[in-house]
């Protein structure tokens, strides 16, 4: 298929080409998220060496605030992806132009209204809701409004990023994202060492988003030469897409955002900012690992939408099973290590200070629930792709009810503490995810036994089992590592390598079927072939020069 979508020709993506495209997008997007997961390990200890734990708690609350501000435009991104993929399948570029032009105007108007309201509401947030100490009032005001302004500006022009995702150029957007992450980290370090304190994170965040937007705009016009974004293309007929499909997805997203931040909200209101920071750090790695499954679902959604527009139902069924299996294996591989090695990992990450010990407990408790939560994403991608987004509300709405019910019981009989808050989120996530997965499987027509044997068991038994066995064998060294940060770093690095190799070997020989093994061998042969050709070409060039 041509890399550029032209108006003169259009080639339907065949089954084989679709598999290659999905494979490429998955590979690069997952690598990008893994890179983010690894590099973000260094951010908290670096920042905490320059700012206080309370200031870091303010930064965590900033993203709770801006996530709620995005509620008014949440469903729009999914509308872009879903219908750009559909219009791409039927080659209707003029509809892509109308959709994006309408969406940008609509979201910009919503963002301006939200920013105006926030201007008057920030003092209430600072003084009455989060009870921030007076010495940090000005800092909190600048952080809240600065991050909110940049975030809503980025959302207003998010149409260009989602256009590329709808065209299934997800590998390209993932590479841009990695570049901008590196840029943000470099800027963050520069600003911190130059004495900007917690504002270093804000300045780096703003510059990253501006650079990302510029690159996505350039790529959008490159891949779609007929692209035209104009105010005169604003068409109210597209409102039905935003209000029907988008509003339902938006409601589901609203509930998801509330659920994702409810632990920090309870901690900041009922306890203090230090507790909020500890919960944020303790859940950071499992939640960041979930971003891997999110990137995978971003690959599946446009693919399902594209195939649904061409009535390729059997391919969608196969993609649902294989996609869920891939998510389970990837998430199990990462979360299995976090669950078992959370204690030495926390020491290596943050040091031996006693106040950080609770972080290891939080991390372990969150791993398996987050893995099941990740598996629900495949069901959400399926329902959005076949234009039945209302069925995604079953999970988010059910979880919200479960959170309220478990919180009522827990806080009635037990004191509100950091662990009781975590227990509420963990239990509601487990129950909600299991019920929703069973429902999706029934709707798609997948046997629950098949799902357990092909999806759940391989992603749980193998990585967690290998991890616990390895930790059991290395317990004496682990005890020594817990008393010294640098010993812990060495322990985590060596254990991580052994765990990775052991888990991959067991998955390859004990989990993969013949076709999966064959695909792995083909990819390895292709990589070796490319390296060999490059090496030979360099060697021949040197010989010619001689």
For 419-439, the DSSP string reads HHHHHHHHHHHHHHHHHHHHH
Predicted pLDDT of residue 152: 84
Percentage of residues in the chain having pLDDT higher than 90 = 15
Q: What confidence tens digit (pLDDT) does each residue in 477-534 have?
A: 888 888 888 888 899 999 999 999 999 999 888 888 787 777 778 777 777 776 676 6
Those residues with Cβ within 8 angstroms of residue 290's Cβ, 6 or more apart along the chain or in another chain: 331, 370, 373, 374
Q: What share of the chain is helix, strand, coil (3-state, %, to 5)?
A: 85, 0, 15
Q: Find the radius of gyration of the CA atoms of the chain.
A: 24
pTM: 0.72
In this prediction, residue 272 has a pLDDT band, given cuts at 50, 70 and 90, of: low
- What's the rounded Cα separation, in Å, for the pair 161 and 295? 13
CB 452 within 8 A of CB 372: no
Reported residue count of the chain is 546
The secondary element (H helix, E strand) that includes residue 73 is: none
Predicted pLDDT of residue 546: 56
List the one residue out of 162, 224, 167 whose CA is nearest residue 4. Answer: 224
- What's the rounded Cα separation, in Å, for the pair 304 and 402? 30
Those residues with Cβ within 8 angstroms of residue 510's Cβ, 6 or more apart along the chain or in another chain: 462
Two tokens at 220? Answer: 């959008």
Mean pLDDT, the chain, whole residue set: 81
Q: How many CB atoms lie within 10 A of CB 143?
A: 23
Q: Please say if the pLDDT value at position 469 is more than 90.
A: yes
Mean pLDDT within 411-420: 78
CB 45 within 8 A of CB 350: yes
Two tokens at 334? Answer: 């990462």
Q: How many CB atoms lie within 10 A of CB 218?
A: 12
DSSP state of 128: I
Two tokens at 345? Answer: 């990992």
Predicted pLDDT of residue 7: 43
Taking the CA atoms of residue 242, residue 438, residue 304 and residue 33 in that order, the dihedral angle to the nearest 10 degrees is 90
Predicted pLDDT of residue 65: 72
Mean pLDDT within 106-122: 83
Predicted pLDDT of residue 3: 44
CA 226 from centroid of its chain's CA atoms: 31
Taking the CA atoms of residue 275, residue 279, residue 282 and residue 286 in that order, the dihedral angle to the nearest 10 degrees is 180
- What's the rounded Cα separation, in Å, for the pair 458 and 452? 8
Q: Please say if the pLDDT value at position 342 is more than 70.
A: yes
Return the SS3 of 11: coil
Pick the more confident residue, 502 or 384.
Answer: 502
Mean pLDDT within 135-162: 86
CA distances from 467 to 34, 291, 299 (A): 19, 22, 29
Percentage of residues in the chain having pLDDT higher than 70 = 87
Extents of the domains making up the chain: 15-524
Predicted pLDDT of residue 18: 79
- What's the rounded Cα separation, in Å, for the pair 256 and 262? 10
Pick the more confident residue, 39 or 149.
Answer: 149
Predicted pLDDT of residue 247: 66
Q: Please say if the pLDDT value at position 78 is more than 70.
A: yes
CB 502 within 8 A of CB 470: yes
In this prediction, residue 463 has a pLDDT band, given cuts at 50, 70 and 90, of: very high
- What's the rounded Cα separation, in Å, for the pair 153 and 135? 29
Q: Please say if the pLDDT value at position 257 is more than 70.
A: no
In this prediction, residue 74 has a pLDDT band, given cuts at 50, 70 and 90, of: low
């Amino acid at each position: 298929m041509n890399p550029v979508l032209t108006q003169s020709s259009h080639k339907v993506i065949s089954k084989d080409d679709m598999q290659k495209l999905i494979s490429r997008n998955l590979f690069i997007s997952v690598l990008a998220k893994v890179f983010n997961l690894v590099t973000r390990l260094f951010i908290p200890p670096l920042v905490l060496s320059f700012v206080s734990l309370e200031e870091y708690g303010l930064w965590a609350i900033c993203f709770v605030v801006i996530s709620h501000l995005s509620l008014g435009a949440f469903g729009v991104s999914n509308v872009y992806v879903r219908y750009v993929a559909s219009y791409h399948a039927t080659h209707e570029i003029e509809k892509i132009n109308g959709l994006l032009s309408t969406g940008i105007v609509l979201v910009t108007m919503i963002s301006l209204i939200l920013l105006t309201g926030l201007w008057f509401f920030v003092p209430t947030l600072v003084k009455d809701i989060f009870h921030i100490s007076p010495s940090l009032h000005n800092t909190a005001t600048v952080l809240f409004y600065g991050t909110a302004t940049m975030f809503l500006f980025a959302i207003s022009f998010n149409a260009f990023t989602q256009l590329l995702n709808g065209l299934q150029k997800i590998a390209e957007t993932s590479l841009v994202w990695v570049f901008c992450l590196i840029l943000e980290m470099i800027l963050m370090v520069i600003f911190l060492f130059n004495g900007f304190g917690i504002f270093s994170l804000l300045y780096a965040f703003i510059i990253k988003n501006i650079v990302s937007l510029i690159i996505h705009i350039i790529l959008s016009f490159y891949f779609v030469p007929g692209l035209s974004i104009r105010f005169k293309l604003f068409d109210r007929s597209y409102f039905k897409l935003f209000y029907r499909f988008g509003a339902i997805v938006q409601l589901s997203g609203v509930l998801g955002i509330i659920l994702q931040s409810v632990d920090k909200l309870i901690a900041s209101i009922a306890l203090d900012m230090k507790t909020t920071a500890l919960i944020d750090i303790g859940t950071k790695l499992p939640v960041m690992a979930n971003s891997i499954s999110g990137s995978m679902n971003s690959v599946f959604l446009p693919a399902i939408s594209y195939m649904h527009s061409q009535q390729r139902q059997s391919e969608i069924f196969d993609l649902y099973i294989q996609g869920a299996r891939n998510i389970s294996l990837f998430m199990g591989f990462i979360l299995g290590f976090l669950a078992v090695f959370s204690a030495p990992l926390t020491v290596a990450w943050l040091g031996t200070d006693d106040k950080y010990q609770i972080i290891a407990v939080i991390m372990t408790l969150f791993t398996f629930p987050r893995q099941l939560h990740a598996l629900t994403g495949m069901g959400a991608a399926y329902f959005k792709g076949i234009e039945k987004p209302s069925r995604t509300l079953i999970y988010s709405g059910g979880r919200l009810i479960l959170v309220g019910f478990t919180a009522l019981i827990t806080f009635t009989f037990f004191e509100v503490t950091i662990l009781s808050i975590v227990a509420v989120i963990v239990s509601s996530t487990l129950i909600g995810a299991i019920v929703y997965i069973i429902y999706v499987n029934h709707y798609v027509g997948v046997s629950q036994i098949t799902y357990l044997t092909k999806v759940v068991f391989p992603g749980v038994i193998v990585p967690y089992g290998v991890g616990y066995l390895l930790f059991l064998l290395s317990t004496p060294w682990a005890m020594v590592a817990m008393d010294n940060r640098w010993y812990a770093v060495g322990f985590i690095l060596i254990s991580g390598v052994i765990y990775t190799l052991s888990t991959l070997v067991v998955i390859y020989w004990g989990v993969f079927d013949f076709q999966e093994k064959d695909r792995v061998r083909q990819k390895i042969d292709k990589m070796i072939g490319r390296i060999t050709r490059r090496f030979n070409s360099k060697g021949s060039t040197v010989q010619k020069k001689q």
